[in-house]
């Protein structure tokens, strides 16, 4: 059983219910479950052309969508991070003493073998156990 669980959520894909059910099944009594979404900032060349209000609005919208996604999941804390997705997840897991990361993955394609998916990078660099859901 795990005490500090991080469930990595994409706001564009629909595995969150299954991932949260898995987290609950593996959670020790009194465990904390954090639903984490990472916003990747725009490329600096693009960011120069973006209005700061537009960037702030996009972050606020993502935060609202994340809160709505876990609204029916009592005891799940929504967390919004910024940065490169796999790096942000593994650094947060290290800083918070997470002992299980649950992350979704799609079926690998040829490009994944060269570039690596977020899930593959989390598996390689995480400081704890990682469960990958397809």
* 39-53 pLDDT, tens digit each: 988 887 877 788 888
Domain that holds residue 44: 2-133
Phi-psi region of 19 (alpha: psi -120 to 50; beta: other; left: phi over 0): alpha
Helix (H) / strand (E) element for 91: namely helix 85-96
Q: Is 89 helix (H, G, I), strand (E, B) or coil?
A: helix
pTM: 0.88
Rounded CA separation 79/6 (Å):
10
CATH code of the domain covering residue 21: 3.40.50.620
How do residues 89-113 score in pLDDT, each as one tens digit?
A: 999 999 999 999 999 876 665 555 5
**12-26 average pLDDT score:** 84
Q: Which residues contact 53 (CB under 8 A, 6 or more apart)?
A: none
Work out how many domains the chain is built from and give that number: 1
3-state DSSP assignment of residue 85: helix
Alpha-carbon distance of 67 to 23, in angstroms, equals 17
């Amino acid at each position: 059983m795990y005490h500090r669980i991080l469930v990595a959520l994409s706001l564009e894909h629909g595995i969150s219910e299954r991932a949260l059910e898995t987290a609950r099944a593996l959670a020790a009594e009194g465990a904390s479950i954090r639903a984490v979404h990472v916003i990747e900032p725009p490329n600096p060349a693009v960011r120069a052309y973006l209005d700061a209000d537009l960037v702030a609005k996009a972050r606020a919208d993502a935060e609202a969508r994340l809160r709505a996604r876990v609204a029916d999941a009592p005891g799940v804390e929504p967390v919004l991070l910024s940065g490169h997705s796999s790096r942000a997840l593994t650094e947060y897991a290290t800083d918070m003493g997470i002992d299980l990361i649950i992350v979704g993955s799609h079926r690998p394609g040829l490009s994944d073998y060269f570039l690596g998916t977020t899930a593959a990078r989390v598996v390689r660099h995480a400081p704890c156990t990682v469960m990958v859901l397809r």
